[in-house]
Amino acid sequence: PSYKHMAVPKLPTFAKIWFLLTVIICTWDASFVLLRPYSLPGGKWHQIWKPYALYITMDRRYGDVNDAWVATQSYLNLFENIVYLMALFSSGATAFVLGFSCSLLTAWKTVIYFGIEIVSGYQYTGHCTPAQFWTGFIFPSSIWIVAPVIMCGVLLKSWAAQSRRPAESKKADAPAADPKVAHTAAEPARRRSQHVVEA
């Protein structure tokens, strides 16, 4: 089938909401890291990031201003935010490719975060109790693996479904021909045919 007659796929509403929430949350997270020490407890801007006072007691990487990885991750967060916004303001294949690619980036970046912590011998989380480790570190961070992977599936399924849907034909929009008008238009031709036969 010709692509000219296919509908332009649109991002599903669920994806748009998730992308927007991601931009807001990751901007808040990245700004906390990049604005340390002012964002840390005792800093002049800490009230904006007050919940982090508890989080940095479980994941001490966020409290270590000399850790290069958490800063790198934060810059990647800001880059991802730009891509998500581009997806939100794009259409068709561009929006899907941007959203899908960036979702994969978000998931793999979080896998790397976990990997570095494991390989380092749990340098920043080894002090946690099992409850703190699972509820304060593993669970909230795993959201950034599970949700983006689910989003990739949602985008693929939506793209496949919408790509098979033909665009509404202009002919379908045209008003149906009036049988009376068609009969009237054909009457002179019918009469001429009769004259020819009689002759």
Q: Is the pLDDT of residue 170 over 80?
A: no
For the chain, where are the E strands, in sequence order? none
CA dist., res. 159 & res. 12, Å (int): 9
Supply the pLDDT for residue 164.
74
What mean pLDDT value characterizes the chain?
86
Greater confidence, 170 or 30? 30
Q: Do residues 6 and 167 lie in contact, with contact meaning Cβ atoms separated by under 8 Å?
A: yes
CA dist., res. 178 & res. 183, Å (int): 9
Per-residue pLDDT tens for 104-113? 999 999 999 9
Greater confidence, 192 or 52? 52
In angstroms, what CA-CA distances link 121 with 23, 118, 124? 31, 5, 9
Q: What is the mean pLDDT of residues 29-44?
A: 96
